[in-house]
Amino acid sequence: MKKILFLKLILLVLFEFQSFAQEAIFRAQQIVSPEIHDNQAVTFRLLAPDAKSVQVTGDFLPTVKMDSPMGKVDAPGKADMVKDDKGVWEFKSPTLGPELYNYSFIIDGFTTTDPNNPFQIRDVASVTNIFIIEGGQAEYYKTNDFPHGTVSRRWYDSPGLGMDRRITIYTPPGYETSSEKYPVLYLLHGAGGDEEAWISLGRTAQIMDNLIAQGKAKPMIVVMPNGNVIQDAAPGEGSLGFYKPVFMAEKTMDGTYEANFMDIIKFVEENYRVIADKSHRAIAGLSMGGFHTMHISRYYPNTFDYMGLFSAALMPREDATGKVYTDIDGTLKTQMDNGYQLYWIAIGKTDFLFGENKAYRAKLDTMKMPYEYVESEGGHIWRNWRVYLTQFVPQLF
């Protein structure tokens, strides 16, 4: 009897999910991929006996030049995988430096995920696998054995936009049990992103936990709103249901977001223990979020002491004729005259927005508006934005 019960429990393990996910049991291939070796080389494997060709592509491979409407741009490289006599395709990378990498498989021309690796992230409408090579900068991206902050998905009322909206909020370790008040970083995503982008692709919670634990950053609240004003939440999380995310939702860069940003600040300051003054408010964003950062911070020119423009888009669209984009130079000057602690601009040397950023810096130079500038390698990529976040946050408050 006992033996039978024990057998049943073993079978319970095997048959935990009978119809829905019985599939889950039998589908997952019993091979290891990716396998990270001691020397930080990585082997990718895929069981696909009937495939004619399998490649791996990802940002761990050297980039290649690709034609585009912008001329040649960088694209992730591809490597051929080799099939063994059991139908398992394999590729072993050279030693890789510490980083959070992404990859996909290309099977007979069809790009898809690695069924042996459940760790995936969504970037706009595409899902790729990820892995981490430990050490160096990548230590910030891991969950280490440090105290952890809380990540909440919450909804706030935006009277200006006439809807409840979803927002992601990181509160630092100890927030719930202390009576302390905290400074706030408002952290904005790029085009095609939403309130999930920074916490997922940006590893914000891990970065903040690690920086705070190491004494490199002050404990702070990080607020990650949704910059697409036609959405109440990320695709799949809101009242619009499941639909394919697009790069540019309507009304993302027409001033509506900037003009209603105070709804977010009001919500945060009424609902969290924060120090509600300029010297304890920072705002930063990547690409479109850098655009929003630039415009929000000068439109409310005495609100933030710290600005971070990561690979920022900077120029308004020609159809953006609303009040937010009038008198840009005048409001920048007011912002400068009001004073601030840090206006931080970072961009990669091969970013397609490099020229636009250079022109913007020239404008600031002409105005004698102070800023700090970091020029990195690489282009318009998440790898850079994670690095910029780890560089920016220690300078705050």
Residue 251 near residue 316 (C-beta atoms within 8 A): no
Q: What is the DSSP letter of 116?
A: T
Name which position in 40, 352, 364, 395 contacts its own copies (CB under 8 A). 352
Report the C-alpha gap between 320 and 329 in whole angstroms. 16
Q: Which is nearer to its own copies, 240 or 337 (CB)?
A: 240
| Contact range with its own copies by CB under 8 A, out of 90-98, 119-127, 277-285, 322-330 | 119-127
**Residue 123 Cβ vs its own copies, minimum distance, rounded to whole Å:** 4
Segment interacting with its own copies (CB under 8 A) among 223-231, 232-240, 294-302, 326-334:
232-240
Q: Say whether residue 84 binds its own copies (CB under 8 A).
A: no
SS3 100: strand
Is 187 within 8 Å of 198 (Cβ atoms)? yes
**Residue with smaller CB distance to its own copies, 41 or 51:** 51
> Of the candidates 79, 92, 98, 113, which one interacts with its own copies according to CB under 8 A?
113
Encoded one letter per residue, x for contact with its own copies by CB under 8 A and - for no contact, window 189-228 reads -xxx------------------------------------
Comparison of 180 and 372: residue with beta carbon closer to its own copies: 180
66 binds its own copies (CB under 8 A): yes
Best CA proximity match to 90, nearest among 52, 45, 123, 55: 45
Stretch that binds its own copies, among 210-218, 220-228, 258-266, 372-380 (CB under 8 A): 372-380
Quick one: which segment of 100-108, 212-220, 221-229, 296-304 binds its own copies (CB under 8 A)? 100-108
What residues does 131 pair with on adjacent strands? 101
* Cα 208-214-219 angle, rounded to 5 deg: 45
- Between 152 and 338, CB nearer to its own copies: 152
Chain positions 258 to 277 lying near its own copies, rule: CB under 8 A, are 271
**Exposed, middle or buried, 265 (CB in 10 Å: 0-12/13-18/19+)?**
buried
Rounded CA separation 364/380 (Å)? 22
Cα angle for residues 253, 164, 310 (degrees, 5° grid): 35
# chain residues binding its own copies, by CB under 8 A: 120
For CA atoms 239, 240, 244, 245, the dihedral sign is negative
Among 40, 41, 92, 117, binds its own copies (CB under 8 A): 117
Distance, CA of 228 to CA of 9 (rounded, Å): 48
Apex CA 289: angle with CA 345 and CA 97, to 5°? 65
Residue 326 as a binder of its own copies (CB under 8 A): the answer is no
> Would you say 27 or 368 has its CB closer to its own copies?
27
Cβ at position 181, least distance to its own copies in Å: 16
- Tell me the closest approach of the beta carbon of residue 230 to its own copies, in angstroms: 15
Largest Cα–Cα distance of the chain, in whole Å? 86
Which region among 13-21, 219-227, 296-304, 361-369 touches its own copies (by CB under 8 A)? 13-21
Residue 341 or 350 with smaller CB distance to its own copies: 350
The single residue among 81, 222, 294, 381 that binds its own copies, judged by CB under 8 A, is 381
What DSSP assignment string belongs to 263-321? HHHHHHHHHS-B--SGGGEEEEEETHHHHHHHHHHHHSTTS-SEEEEES---SPPTT--
Q: Out of 238, 255, 285, 308, name the contact with its own copies by CB under 8 A.
A: 238
Binding to its own copies in span 330-349, by CB under 8 A: none
Rule CB under 8 A: say whether 328 interacts with its own copies. no
